[in-house]
Amino acid sequence: MNWKGWVLLLIGGILLLSGALTGNGPGKFSLAFGGKGTGFGDKPVWHTERIPVEVPAFLNASTFGGSITVNSHDRNEILIRVRVRKGGSHLEADEDAPVHVSITDSPNGVEITAKPERDGWLRSGPAVSVSYDILVPAETKIRATTSGGSVSAFDIAHNVSLITSGGPVTVERVTGEVLARTSGGPINARDITGNLTARTSGGGIHVVNARGKLSARTSGGPIRLDGVSGAVEGRTSGGPIDARVRYVEDHLTLSTSGGSITAKLPRNQGMDIRASGSSVRSRLDDLTGDITSNSIHGSVHGGGIPVELKTSGGSVQIEYSD
């Protein structure tokens, strides 16, 4: 190789190391801010993008087959790292991929979508999925949807909507309204200040430290509510319910067709209690009313807020939480 060849090789190496090499068109790559070893632990990052935004901001992210994880940071920008998995292996930043990733930005938000490239009516070749690891300002409204993986959000000071057709949902430390929905996995929520709606057809629901209107429904698993306050509804067709309620607003409704109910209620609140099951036991020392071995129609502290505990296939146990 002559001296000109060595110079060109050196320049190319510098460009690669500085992250300045980019490509155009669907399925191409970008090393503008990422590359192998950036995010996702030791898994390669296929594409990285930084977009300045004004707060409060928004993020709409959708993908297929992969996961979406959203965290907050202290910058007024949205950082998106895209990972592509093809045939069981993650692609490097310098590899073509049979996907089309579209990122559209505006002054206060970003929309990102991923779709597989198709040949005619059918996609050929190894299975492909696209995952995102995203950092946003805390005051960002989140909507994240995936058809085949997990979806999660952490440390967000705005409304959050997380939807997946085939995996778990995790949401923690959010101030705002939360929608968590999955057709094929569990839901875990922790430290939520705002209304929370949790829906799953194929897993359990676990909520810890939530304040606001709470509606938790599952067709195929248990419900555990630990340290919740507000108007609370928990319904399942296929498992037990365990609830520790700090404060009740408006109503408390727990119902299951296939398990037992354990309810730990706040002391010193007036409540009207209706409970039924194969057996019903109360440890409320000031409960008065019509009490039998399989039902309770009674009240505490003069009555007030309606509490309904109903199971068709198990027992009910009621006590105070402290």
Residue 38 domain-assigned?
A: yes
Structure pTM?
0.84
Same domain, 317 and 184: yes
Q: Which long-range contacts (CB under 8 A, 24 or more apart) does 235-244 make?
A: 236/205, 239/204, 240/314, 241/311, 244/321
Range of the structural domain that residue 277 is part of: 168-322
User: Considering the domain boundaries, does residue 268 fall inside one?
Assistant: yes
Please report whether residue 312 resides in a domain.
yes
- Do residue 137 and residue 182 come from a single domain? no
Same domain for 172 and 127?
A: no
| Number of domains the chain contains | 2
Does residue 35 fall inside a structural domain? yes
Compute the Cα dihedral for 44, 49, 52, 56 and give only its sign. negative
Whether residue 37 sits in one domain with residue 122: yes
CB burial of residue 243 (10 Å; 0-12, 13-18, 19+):
buried
SS3 state of residue 58:
strand
Parts of the chain with a pLDDT under 70: 1-41, 119-126
| Confidence (pLDDT) at 94 | 75
Residue 147 is assigned to a structural domain of this protein? no
Establish if 120 belongs to a structural domain: yes
- Contact in structure between 281 and 249 (CB atoms under 8 Å): no
User: Residue 301, Cβ neighbours under 10 Å: how many?
Assistant: 13
18 CB-contact burial (10 Å; exposed 0-12 / middle 13-18 / buried 19+): exposed
Residue 258, pLDDT score? 81
CA dihedral 254, 260, 265, 270 (to 10 degrees): 60
Residue 39: the pLDDT is 39
CA–CA separation, 321 vs 284, rounded Å? 10
In a domain, 2, yes or no: no
Residues 195 and 104 in one domain: no
Asked if 123 and 117 count as a contact pair (C-beta separation under 8 A), the reply is yes
Single out the residue in 124, 141, 158 at which a domain terminates.
141
**CA–CA–CA angle 49, 173, 38 (5° rounding):** 25
